[in-house]
């Protein structure tokens, strides 16, 4: 999905199904471009990582700077 020429949003989901463990992943990504700087926040949710009975959230932020 596009939010303009330099901006974007993305969603993803996946699942590993194994005999002894199942893992589900969901991710949301967004890119904002502000002049020569692009910010990309990202969040990922993992349910039952490596078959363990727990939930994990991972947050990230990437910054890119364009040089002339």
Answer whether residue 1 is part of any domain. Answer: no
Compute the C-alpha angle 32/6/39, nearest 5°.
25
CATH number for 58: 2.20.25.110
Give tens-digit pLDDT for 9-53: 999 999 988 888 889 999 999 999 988 899 999 999 999 988 888
Answer whether residue 44 is part of any domain. Answer: yes
Taking only Cα atoms into account, the Rg of the chain, rounded to an integer number of angstroms, comes to 16
Answer whether residue 40 is part of any domain. Answer: yes
Structural domain count of the chain = 1
Q: How many CB atoms within 10 Å of residue 60?
A: 10
Q: Which residue has the higher pLDDT, 59 or 35?
A: 59
Answer whether residue 12 is part of any domain. Answer: yes
pTM to 2 decimal places: 0.72
- Strand runs (DSSP E) across 1-68, as ranges? 8-17, 22-34, 37-47, 55-65
């Amino acid at each position: 999905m596009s939010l303009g020429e330099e901006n974007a949003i993305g969603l993803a989901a996946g699942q590993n199904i194994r005999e002894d463990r199942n893992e589900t992943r969901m991710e949301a990504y967004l890119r904002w471009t502000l002049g020569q700087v692009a910010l990309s926040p990202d969040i990922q949710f993992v349910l039952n990582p490596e078959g363990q009975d727990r939930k994990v959230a991972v947050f990230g932020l990437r910054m890119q700077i364009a040089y002339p």
